[in-house]
Structure 1
Amino acid sequence: MVNNPAPVVKPDGSVILMYKSMGYTKDMTNALLFDLMKMSVATAPYYTGPYQAISEKAFYDPKEFYLEDPFIWQNEEGQFSMIAKDMNGNTCGEPRGGVFATSEDGLEWILHKNKLEYSRNILWSDGIVRQMGNLERPFILFEEGQATHMFFATSDGIEGLSDCKNTWNMVIPLKSKMK
C-alpha cells in the first residue's frame, strides 16, 4: 500500500517524491496482516514519471517512530526540508504533533529529534488555546520564497476522527517567516 505522496519539482523539472508505504500479507483466513508504516523516497525525470523507488528502507526506524503526512520543499539554496505528523510523539514529544527533517539532496534525510515543528494546541483568534483532535496533511504556502501560512485538515474531536462531530480545513498565518 502506497499513499500520501509529497512531491518537489526541481528547477530542471525532475521530481523527488516522499511517500508513505506499508506492506501486507494475508493470514490463513485471508485477513490482511499489515507491516509497520514507513516513509520512503522516489524520483522521476518529470512529473509524469516513470518513478523509481530510491530504497525500500525508511530513513528512520519504523519500530521506534510512526510518521505520516509528509510535506517537503526545497529552499533557494537547494536544501530540502520536510514536516510530517509524529503519530506516537516519540520524535517531537507530542503525539500527532509535527516533526522536522532536512536533506542536502532530497534522498538522504536527517530527522531532527526532540523538535516540535507544530503543535495540535492552537491559539484561536478569541485568545483561547484549543487542542485539535488531529492536524492532517500539513501544507505550507510560500509567497516570494517565504512561508506565510500553514494549512491542515482538522476536527473538533479529542482523539482525532474517531470522536469528532465536525471536520474542516484550517489556515494558520505564520508569525515568523521560514525559507
Structure 2
Amino acid sequence: MTMRPEDEEMRRRYIEAAWRLGCSGGEGALSIRALARDVGRAAGSVYLYFEDKGSLMNELRRIGAAKLEATLAAASQSMSVETRLAALCQRYLAYMAECAWLYVDDVEGALLRPDALHAAAFIERAEHELRMTRHGAPEEHDARPRHLWLALQGLASAVAAAPEIYDRDFVGAHLRFVTRGVTVMEV
C-alpha cells in the first residue's frame, strides 16, 4: 500500500522528531505523547503511521544502521589495515555512544547478537577490511570480525559504566591492541 505524499511527509516528521528526542534525552524522553507534542499533533495520530512504539524503535534502528554503514564506509579511506580497522572501531564506538538509547529496551539481548542491524553493519565492513589482509576472499569461518565486535561491545559497556576511568588514551590504546591482534590472529 502506497502512502499519500502528505502521509509520507508526516511519517518523516515523526521519525525526525523521534530521532531528535532520543538523541537529546534518551529512550525515556521518547514517549508517544512527547513525540506527538513535538510535531504538534494528538498522541493518537502517531498510531496512523506506526503500529506501536516498538515498530517506531525498529524503524529508528534501521535508520541508525544505515547511518552507521555510511560512517563506517568513510573509514575505509585510511592507509593500513590496522588504521582502517581502528577508524572503523572509533566510528562504531561514537555511533553507539550517540545512539545507545536505541538499544536500551532490549530485554532479551537480541541486539547484542552479531546479526542485529548495527552489529551486522560493523561486522560486514570489518570482514571487508580483514579480507584485504588475506589478499582475496575471506576464509569461510573467519571469526575475526565477530571477535573485534565483541571487544568493542565490552569496551563500550566499560566506558558507559565508568567514563572517568576509561579516557580517550585508554580507548585508543585498547583499539590499537585489539586491531593489531585481530589482523595477525589465525582464522
TM bracket, shorter-chain basis: under 0.3
More helix by share: 2
Structure number with larger C-alpha Rg = 2
Structure of greater relative contact order (alpha carbons < 8 Å, 6+ residues apart)? 2
More strand by share: 1
Q: TM-score, normalised by structure 2?
A: 0.26
